[in-house]
Structure formats: C-alpha cells, structure tokens
Amino acid sequence: MRFSTWLSFFAASMFTFLVVVACGRTSLEPETLGDGGPTTPKACSASTCPTGCCDSSGTCRTGGDNRACGSAGGRCNDCVAQGFTTCTATKVCARDDSNCGPQSCSTGCCGSDSGRPRCFAGTEAAACGIGGTSCNDCTTQGRACDASTRTCGRQRCGKDNCKGCCVNGTCLEGNKASACGTGGEQCESCSIGQTCDAIVGGGGQCTGTTNCGPLTCGGGCCQNGKCQGGIDDTACGKGGFQCQDCQNQVPAKECVDDGLPNERTCQVAQTCSSANCDGCCSNGQCVPLANTTTAACGIGGAACTACTNGNTCQGGFCKPTMGCPANCGVGNTAQCCLGNICAAGTFKTQCGLGGEACKACPGDQVCQDGVCQEPACSMTCDTGCCSGNTCTAGIQDNACGTKGADCVDCTQNAGTPACSATKKQCVVACNIGSCPTGCCKGNDCQAGNANDACGTAGIQCATCNAPFACDQITKLCTQ
C-alpha cells in the first residue's frame, strides 16, 4: 500500500473513531482546501459588494439609502437627484404614483411596493422596464436588467451552468469572502472573522466564527455580524458597535454625514435655517460657524459658499487674508494662515491647506496633510493589521498581520497560504500533511495531548471537559 494511500486511510479511520468516542463533541470540521485562485479584487464590484452598491469613490454601500440605492455591486443611484423619493426594500429608486402610466412614468416602469402603486426607475433587476409599462422582476429568472434596453438580459445563472454562486444573473467563482457559495445558489458575504473555503467541485462555503466588533470594525458598525461603512440611513454608526437603522426609528431619522456634528449617529432630519444654524447650510445640514472653511463659508443659516480669489473664511465671511503671504498654500499644499503668518498647516491646533484660515481639529481627530480626520489605522491598530484605513484582527487568511502594518493576503502565497492566529503571519496550512501527529488550532499545529487541544492526524483540536481528559497516547478525550 502506498504511503499516501495508507495516510489517507489512517486519517479517515481516526475521524470515524473520534466521532464515536469523543463524548460531547458531535461533529468535527472537515479539512478545508485552499482556493489557490486569484485574490479578492479591491475594486467595488458584484464580487466584492454582492448585496449593496458601489458609490463614486468605489466604496461598497448597503444600498438601502435614498442617496445611495442599489444592489449586486452596481452603481449606487441617488434617488432624490433622479426625481424619486425613496429607496425600496428591494433597493430600487421609486416614487408614489397612484396613476402610474406612460405619461407620468415615461422613463421607468410601473409596479407596486408594500401595496402602494409606484413608478420605478426601471434599471434594476427587481424592477426592470420603460415607458410606464409594468415592471419585470428579472431576479425570478436569475437574470439581470439590461440598463440600455430595460429588458431582462443575460443567461439564467443556476445550478445547471454555474459551479460557483450567482449575483443577479452573473456566475462568480464563489470562493471569495465577499461572494461565497456553490452550486449556482445566491452568493453570500462571509462575516468578519470568517473565510470562504473552497470545496470540491467548485465554489466555497463560509467557515469560522464571526467577530465583528471594535477591534475588527473600528471604522464602521456591525450589522448581522458584518462590518458596514456606517454612513447609510439603514446602517449608521462607528466604533464597531451595532449599526442603527435610522429610517426605522420613530420619528424617522437620518444618518449624519462625516465631518458634521454627531457624525454617523441617527438624528431627526432638520431643515437648515437661521433658526437652528449659526453658520451656513450645505445640502440641508448645518456647518457650525466654528467649523466653516474656505470651501464652505457662511453665517446666519445662509447657503454655504466657496471663497475664491485667495480669500479665506473669517467669522463666516470671505475676506482677504490679513497680511498672510499670497503664495501661502499654493497648489493646495498643507499650509494655512494664522493671522499674518503662513503656518505649516499640519498640526492638530493649526490645520489647513491651500492658504485657508487655520483651524483646530475637534475631538480625537488629527491633522493629516492639512485635513482634520480620524487617525490613520497604522497609528491606532497595535494588535491587528490595516485593511485600507480599517483595523482588523489580523488573523484571517486574506487579512493577516499585526502592529498596524498593511494586511497581507496569505492566499497569494503558494507555500504559506494560511494565517497563524497566534503569530499573525503567513504559515503552511495546518492539516494532516503538516501536522500528522498533532491537531490544529486554526492554522497552528498543537501537540494534541492537552485538554484544551486534544487530537491527532491534523484534525481541528477538541476541548476535553471534565470528567473527560486527553489521553496522552491515543490523543482522544476519554474518562
């Protein structure tokens, strides 16, 4: 018998024996296979944002906001700017229209939402059509909506033609954490702390324990175990705490934009005016007088304006810089005016660029390149690694590292495709081949003879609880 065949037989025998003997442990996780495929694309797309939409900056949004509405990794739609009033539960822009038809809804299609007749944009898979005709739900056919013709297009995606998973009629590989699945089923996004492990036959499945929280989602908020950006009305928050659905509160509220007082918290929508704003109004939000800048200047609830011709915002008015050199901040460099002095513009108490008046950064914000903003991930992420500007635990195969360094995608490494949860560095995947006489805790090979790490043949370690203990020879939990 060949050694590899004997080894496989031994592993299978040990697995069967463990299931029968190991009381209190009713199942063992199967050995997982590394996908060995291409890395998760960083650009926002159907693969990286299957349940939301991509805004103009390439950020994946939840897709349920009136200003960022959409799904399946498509372009976010600003419903208000397009003449609609709401983003429906199916993430489609619409407006109430009791007499919906060709005259009132010529550029879209007519349908019903929550029992209310509405005119829909007609460009989304869930409501596709044009000319005020009845909308077609392309998702029931596993198809997408062709935005140019407003008809259901593309081949049906399903088990007959997709080994991976489907997103609005598109077949994806199904082995990425952001779009995971198999057998032509709908893709799902694995939670923070989980990985998408490839399975035999194609596609993958989400495995591992979710751990969305302050350490893994400091830049956003947690919703159903997943880290969200925290800037949508339906998923509002920061600091890794539970997201709030502002629209579902009584009365309905809005998620305050970044950079404004009470940012990323649910607040009652207010019409900015002189009655409630000592500074200026921008998109219905008040910019307090103390926070007015060269780009947004005004006083007494007037509309914000941008100061030009070298003027800066001083007390809510655009005025010539008093004695400040004319070349201060040329080329939008990090320099600001402090009276008649051109300051560096990179200090917390003297921050600014382009020769605007210096300002002090509020709260925990720091001055980076002349702009007040949250501290860079590398400055605050001591125990994990930085994925963009988000601090993650640093123990995922596709996000591994520590001490605020950029996360490493171990799956790109042919020899070390896994992440060690203790070392937080890329290692050989723990399995029967690399850990034949011990057991695996994550991707760390253990001796297998301890009560909290008992096992052999490269299986996942078991925990032996009293009255059971780990037998030092058989490495099984026994009495």
Under 8 Å between Cβ of 295 and 315: no
The candidate with the shortest Cα–Cα distance to 345, out of 323, 325, 367, is 367
Shared domain for 466 and 423, answered yes or no, is no
The candidate with the shortest Cα–Cα distance to 221, out of 207, 231, 233, 210, is 231
Query: The tokens of 173 are what?
Result: 């590989």
Domain end marker among 133, 153, 173: 153
Task: Report in angstroms the alpha-carbon separations of 171 from 132, 139, 146, 153, 425.
Answer: 31, 13, 16, 14, 33
Model pTM above 0.95: no
Separation of alpha carbons 70 and 79, rounded Å: 10
In a domain, 458, yes or no: yes
Domain end marker among 153, 173, 192: 153
In a domain, 102, yes or no: yes
In a domain, 361, yes or no: no
Going by their DSSP bridges, the two strands 317-320 and 311-314 should be labelled as: antiparallel
Under 8 Å between Cβ of 196 and 190: yes
Query: The tokens of 475 are what?
Result: 């490495």
* 165 contacts: CB under 8 Å, gap ≥ 6: 171, 172, 174, 179, 180, 181, 182, 183, 184, 185, 186, 187, 188, 203
Shared domain for 443 and 383, answered yes or no, is no
Shared domain for 444 and 409, answered yes or no, is no
Shared domain for 393 and 416, answered yes or no, is yes
In a domain, 205, yes or no: no
* Residue 278 identity (one-letter amino acid): D
Shared domain for 92 and 129, answered yes or no, is yes
Shared domain for 404 and 442, answered yes or no, is no
Query: The tokens of 52 are what?
Result: 């939301």
In a domain, 401, yes or no: yes
Going by their DSSP bridges, the two strands 221-223 and 204-207 should be labelled as: unpaired
Domain count, the chain: 4
Where in 183-279 does DSSP place strands (E)?
185-186, 195-198, 204-207, 221-223, 226-228, 231-232, 235-236, 253-255, 266-268
In a domain, 421, yes or no: yes
In a domain, 389, yes or no: yes
Query: The tokens of 153 are what?
Result: 């297009």
In a domain, 409, yes or no: yes
Residue whose structure tokens are 């995971």? 180
DSSP 52-112: SEE-TTS-EE-SEETTEE--TTEE-B-TTTTT--EE-TTS-EEEE-TT-STTT-TTSEEEE
| Beta-bridge mates of residue 244 | 236
Shared domain for 403 and 450, answered yes or no, is no
Shared domain for 126 and 83, answered yes or no, is yes
Q: Which phi and psi (to 5°) does residue 17 adopt?
A: -65, -40
Shared domain for 110 and 144, answered yes or no, is yes
pLDDT digit of tens for each residue in the chain (479 aa)?
444 444 444 444 444 443 333 333 332 222 232 333 333 334 677 777 777 888 877 788 888 887 888 887 778 888 877 778 888 877 888 888 888 888 888 888 998 877 778 899 888 877 888 888 888 887 776 677 777 778 877 666 777 778 888 876 677 888 888 788 888 888 877 776 778 888 888 889 888 766 777 777 767 888 877 778 888 888 898 888 889 988 888 888 888 877 677 788 888 776 787 777 888 888 777 888 888 888 888 888 888 888 876 677 877 877 766 677 878 888 778 888 887 788 888 888 888 888 888 888 887 788 888 888 777 777 778 888 887 767 788 888 888 888 888 888 888 888 888 888 888 889 888 888 888 899 988 788 889 999 988 998 888 888 888 888 898 888 888 87
Domain end marker among 153, 177, 204: 153
Separation of alpha carbons 94 and 177, rounded Å: 31
Shared domain for 406 and 388, answered yes or no, is yes
Domain of residue 456: give its range.
Answer: 3-31+431-478
Shared domain for 82 and 146, answered yes or no, is yes
Shared domain for 89 and 120, answered yes or no, is yes
Separation of alpha carbons 453 and 182, rounded Å: 32
Separation of alpha carbons 440 and 28, rounded Å: 12
